Amino acid sequence: MRAAVLDALEENFISTDFTRKAIIGGRDKEKSKAMFLSYSEWKRLVNYTRATSNSYDFIIYLSAMTGLRFAEVLGLTVADIDLKNKSLTVNKTWDYKYHTGFKAPKNSNSVRTIDIDTQTLRVIKKVIRERKFKLLDQKICINTDGKLPVSATINRYLENLCDKLEIPQISFHGLRHTHASILLFKGVNIMSVSKRLGHKDVTTTQSVYLHIIKEMEERETKLITKIMTEAIE
């Protein structure tokens, strides 16, 4: 239900999270997952996953560093990587649920080109070189058997990895939330974050990350007060 509500918010079918502060009865889960990681926890995750040759780690690393959805990551091909301009293009997704192949992105804004950092570019180049990809339509996230993981498999792997790194368990979609949250906390304009995530419009970004925006406003209010106080001393 929680995942469905978050998807509905992103797609702008609903304007508010009606499950906020809802108390769910029944049996407690053994371990609840975090919505997103802290900056230090995120750094621990990306520093580990970028240094291995495991395809699951590569998929996790890409989402953590770009904010791409699971289907978008799986849909990346060699042709989508622009090594010269340090960017990647999202113009399709991979149907990991029904295995029908490539599909169109969620909405028109989901078709986008995003900049990637030098380290991420090195990681991608290493994977392409080691897997000896030659064709432009080859999917870069396949394992050595030429297969892509299903959602349940990658989420289970991510849970175990979080335990190994001694950080809170998080879902794969939580990597996307973490990426956006870090950018917002670091002062990146919400319009830029919205465009990077491929949201339908900035309203969707505001709805999903309202709690972070409010925290930022509180921080800015304190900064404004400090500036004004210093001006009259």
For a pLDDT cut of 90, what percent of the chain falls above it? 64
Query: Taking all residues of the chain, what is their mean pLDDT, rounded to a whole number?
Result: 89
pLDDT tens-digit map of 96-135: 988 899 999 988 999 999 999 999 999 999 999 999 998 9
Answer whether CATH 1.10.443.10 is correct for domain 30-231: yes
Which of the pair, 48 or 98, is modelled with greater confidence?
Answer: 48
CB atoms within 10 A of CB 128: 16
pLDDT tens-digit map of 169-212: 999 999 999 999 999 988 899 999 999 999 988 988 888 887 77
pLDDT grade for 62, boundaries at 50, 70 and 90: very high
What per-residue confidence (pLDDT) applies to 26?
62
What per-residue confidence (pLDDT) applies to 211?
72
The residues spanned by each domain of the chain are 30-231
For a pLDDT cut of 70, what percent of the chain falls above it? 95
- Residue 175's identity, in one-letter code, is L
End-to-end CA distance of the chain: 53
CB atoms within 10 A of CB 145: 6
pLDDT grade for 30, boundaries at 50, 70 and 90: low
Q: In which residue are the tokens 């950092």 written? A: 117
Q: In which residue are the tokens 């000896």 written? A: 132
Which of the pair, 228 or 68, is modelled with greater confidence?
Answer: 68
